[in-house]
Every structure is written in structure tokens, then in C-alpha cells.
């Protein structure tokens, strides 16, 4: 997986992280309040050591409903403790009245007007506990957390997206190029999405590399290194934020809003500093909005290998930069624990934030 960290501290190798139900907790944040009336029962579920699919299989077996009858906003990992909302038609409500399972607990139930659909969540709230943390590393962790809470982080796809061996994207590319066939439509879609994610990560790493140049080099050195004209370098170098905005970038209002092309660097970089807008990256596909100008040249170069099969993918845009909201952290010296909590928008990975903090990959 391609990755370039934006921070510059040395790796924090002694902090121990385990994705178990005590040290990794994910709480889904619903997109809207449930009405309390309607045809659908919404269950607030807490589960551990089960994927969402495994949980739904349990619900299907005890209720007689098909798995496709259940509504959910997003899939949650097997590892750790997670809460999420699941809906089912009220005709199946009785099956859940005395529900009991060692790894699943129904926290509450409420009725709503419609079935929960994929993507109908605001985001997720994460709790992470690091163990065996010595005081010098705890101080370093505190400083890094403070910086990320203030400035944000690169919104890479996490290692989970790429499979155990990290090569799912290669199978996705082989399917698109006609070198491999996959008859299972869900698996085919998953492998192709891994390839889209890989390309996005490559592009984001390249933009991080360019942004780092502006921290390290003078104007003349930048002109020579990037082969950009003097005026372009002057316009970009005065931007206060780390992740540099370029003319032709596709931006989006944060946290919700329509995409648009950047034409005025001064005006739009000020809105980035105020967290009003965010730069987005290309998720390869024919119908997705494309960057123009200098930003478009960089985008086209990274995504060139996919040009011949863009029409075989459903494209979109994804935040290139993201923010860990309501970031809290504390060090418990007696236990040698460093604990943190933060909220992320949907589709963002807490493990990516943690890897930026620790400055090392978690899948090593």
C-alpha cells in the first residue's frame, strides 16, 4: 500500500495496539433521529468479534427474515467492540423481544418510517487504547494528537481495504483489463473498489510529497524540482495549510456539499483554513468529476494506467484531507495506557489516523 505520512516525527514503536473489544471501540453516529413511529423497527446493536454480515446471519436465523431484508448504514469490522443501527420490518419485531447472544446485545429499539440504507450515517466515534506506553512516548503522543486535532490528516484508505496479503487491487485490475474473470458480483465489485482505492492512495501520496516540498525548499528550488513556473510557485507557497491547493483541484464543501473546481487559490485556501471546504481525490470511473489545470495534469499522470477501463467503474470523489473531530486523549501512567477518542466522517479509517500518529504501519 502506498503511503507517505504528513508529519515528520520518528516512529513510536513501543506503544502496543490490539484490535480487541476492550481497546478498540467503534460507535456509529446516525445521520438522523429516528421518528419513533413507522413500519420499520430500528435496533441499536452492540457486537464484538463478529462482522456485520455474521451478525445479520444470526438475526436471519432467529427471525426467519432474509439477510437482504435488514437495513444497515455501514459494515463494521469483526475485531473490537462496535455499535450500529439495524432496521427490519415490524412484522419480525417479536423475534427480537427476548433476544440473547454471547456476542450481540440489543441496546434499544425504536420504530422509524423507512428502512436504513447504506450510507445513512453521519460517521463513527472511535475509542483506541494503546498499552505499554512509557512517559516520554506519552508526551510525544500528546503532541502529535494535538497537531492532528488542529490540522487534520491525509484521508488514505486503510490496509483493511486491500486484503490480508495487500494484493486485492491487483485482482481488481486484472478483472478490469480482462485478464481475470470473477462471477460473484459482490466480490467483483469489492476487488475493483480495492483497485480504485490503491490508485487514490498513490495520488494522495504524490500530493503529500509535493506539499512536503513546500516545507523544505526555497522558491527557486521548488521551480527546479517541480518544473513549475515562477508565478504558480509563488501562489502556492503562500498558502498556510500543509496540503497545498492547486488551480483546477476539485473541492467540496465540508462536511457536506457539492463539488466544484478551484479557480481562485487565495479565496479557496482561506476557506480550507476555516474548514469550510476540502480538496478531493479521484475515485476512478467515467462519470466522476475530473480535476483540471495543474491539478488535472497530476491526476491524469497517476491514473493513466486506468484510462482504458474507466467506463467499467463507478467513479466518484473522496476527501483527500479529513479531520478527527472532538479529539480527546489522556495518559494513565500507572497502567501505562494512552487513550484517545475522536469522530470521523463515514468512509474514513481510524487505523489511518493511528498510523499517522504512530508513524508506522499497523499491518507489519
Mark whether 266 is an active-site residue: no
* Domain limits for position 297: 1-17+131-364
Q: Which residues contact 160 (CB under 8 A, 6 or more apart)?
A: 77, 349, 351
Same domain, 6 and 71: no
Give the confidence band of 305 by pLDDT, cuts at 50, 70, 90: very high
Cα–Cα distances (Å) from 13 to 24, 132, 147, 350, 355, in that order, read 18, 10, 19, 18, 11
Residue 271, all three cell numbers: 476557506
pLDDT at 42: 97
The CATH number covering residue 107 comes to: 3.30.2350.20
| Phi (first) and psi of residue 201, to 5 degrees | -65, -35
Distance CA 94, CA 206 (A): 54
CA distance 103 to 123: 23
Reading the block at residue 72, the C-alpha cell is: 444497515
Residue 6 shares a structural domain with residue 36: no
Indicate the helix (H) or strand (E) that contains 313. none
Residues 273 and 199 in one domain: yes
Q: What is the pLDDT of residue 18?
A: 92
The domain tally of the chain equals 2
Asked if 29 and 343 touch (Cβ cutoff 8 Å), the reply is yes
| Residue 254 reports pLDDT greater than 60 | yes
On whether both 224 and 335 belong to a single domain, the answer is yes
pLDDT in the model for residue 348: 94
Whether the Cβ atoms of residue 59 and residue 66 lie closer than 8 Å to each other: no
Which is the catalytic residue, given 77, 216, 229, 249? 77
Using CA atoms, how far apart are residues 12 and 65, in angstroms rounded to an integer? 48
The reply to whether 94 and 194 lie within a common domain is no
> In Å, how far are 198, 272, 351 from 298, measured between CA atoms?
16, 20, 27
**Pairing state between β 40-48 and 104-112:** antiparallel
92-125, pLDDT tens digit by residue?
999 999 999 999 999 999 999 999 998 889 999 9
How far apart are alpha carbons 41 and 250 in whole angstroms? 40
Contact assessment for residue 158 and residue 204, using Cβ atoms and an 8 Å cutoff: no
Percent of the chain predicted with pLDDT > 70:
99
Give yes or no for residue 299 having a pLDDT over 90.
Answer: yes
In terms of domains, do 280 and 344 share one? yes
**Whether the Cβ atoms of residue 331 and residue 138 lie closer than 8 Å to each other:** yes
Per-residue pLDDT, 208: 97
Question: Same domain for 96 and 162?
Answer: no
Same domain? For 182 and 270 the reply is yes
Q: Which residues pair with 331 in a beta bridge?
A: 338
**pLDDT surpasses 80 at 14:** yes
Residue 243 is placed in which grid cell?
496540503
Q: Are 47 and 136 in a shared domain? A: no
251 contacts 259 by C-beta, under 8 angstroms: yes
Residue 93 and residue 208 in one domain? no
231 and 342 part of one domain: yes
> In this predicted model, what pLDDT tens digit does every residue of 190-232 receive, in sequence order?
899 999 999 999 999 999 999 999 999 999 999 999 999 999 9
Q: Model confidence over 158-176: pLDDT tens digits?
A: 988 888 778 899 999 999 9
| Tens-place pLDDT, residues 33-79 | 999 999 999 999 999 999 999 999 999 999 999 999 999 998 888 88
Amino acid at each position: 500500500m502506498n503511503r507517505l505520512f504528513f508529519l515528520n516525527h520518528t516512529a513510536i514503536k513501543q506503544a502496543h495496539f490490539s484490535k480487541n473489544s476492550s481497546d478498540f471501540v467503534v460507535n456509529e453516529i446516525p445521520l438522523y433521529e429516528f421518528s419513533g413511529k413507522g413500519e420499520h423497527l430500528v435496533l441499536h446493536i452492540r457486537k464484538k468479534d463478529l462482522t456485520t454480515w455474521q451478525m445479520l446471519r444470526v438475526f436471519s436465523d432467529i427471525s426467519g427474515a432474509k439477510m437482504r431484508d435488514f437495513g444497515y448504514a455501514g459494515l463494521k469490522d469483526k475485531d473490537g467492540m462496535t455499535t450500529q443501527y439495524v432496521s427490519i420490518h415490524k412484522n419480525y419485531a417479536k423475534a427480537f423481544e427476548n433476544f440473547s447472544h454471547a456476542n450481540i446485545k440489543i441496546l434499544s429499539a425504536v420504530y422509524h418510517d423507512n428502512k436504513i440504507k447504506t450510507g445513512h450515517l453521519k460517521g463513527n466515534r472511535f475509542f483506541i487504547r494503546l498499552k505499554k506506553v512509557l512517559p516520554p512516548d506519552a508526551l510525544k503522543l500528546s503532541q502529535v494528537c494535538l497537531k492532528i486535532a488542529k490540522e487534520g490528516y491525509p484521508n488514505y484508505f486503510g490496509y483493511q481495504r486491500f486484503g490480508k496479503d495487500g494484493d486485492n487491487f491487483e485482482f481488481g485490475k486484472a478483472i478490469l483489463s480482462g485478464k481475470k474473470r470473477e462471477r460473484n458480483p459482490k466480490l467483483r465489485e469489492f476487488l475493483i473498489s480495492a483497485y480504485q482505492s490503491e490508485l487514490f492512495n498513490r495520488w494522495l501520496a504524490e500530493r503529500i510529497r509535493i506539499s512536503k516540498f513546500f516545507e523544505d525548499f526555497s522558491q527557486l528550488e521548488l521551480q527546479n524540482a517541480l518544473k513549475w513556473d515562477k508565478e504558480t510557485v509563488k501562489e502556492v507557497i503562500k498558502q498556510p495549510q500543509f496540503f497545498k491547493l492547486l488551480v483546477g483541484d476539485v473541492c467540496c464543501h465540508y462536511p457536506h456539499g457539492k463539488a466544484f473546481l478551484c479557480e481562485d487559490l487565495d479565496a479557496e485556501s482561506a476557506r480550507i483554513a476555516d474548514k469550510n471546504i476540502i480538496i478531493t481525490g479521484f475515485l476512478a470511473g467515467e462519470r466522476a468529476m475530473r480535476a483540471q489545470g495543474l491539478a488535472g495534469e497530476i491526476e491524469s499522470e497517476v491514473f493513466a494506467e486506468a484510462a482504458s477501463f474507466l467506463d467499467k467503474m463507478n467513479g466518484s470523489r473522496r476527501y483527500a484531507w479529513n479531520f478527527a473531530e472532538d479529539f480527546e486523549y489522556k495518559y494513565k501512567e500507572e497502567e501505562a495506557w494512552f487513550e484517545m477518542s475522536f469522530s470521523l466522517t463515514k468512509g474514513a479509517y481510524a487505523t489511518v489516523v493511528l498510523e499517522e500518529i504512530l508513524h508506522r504501519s499497523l499491518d507489519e
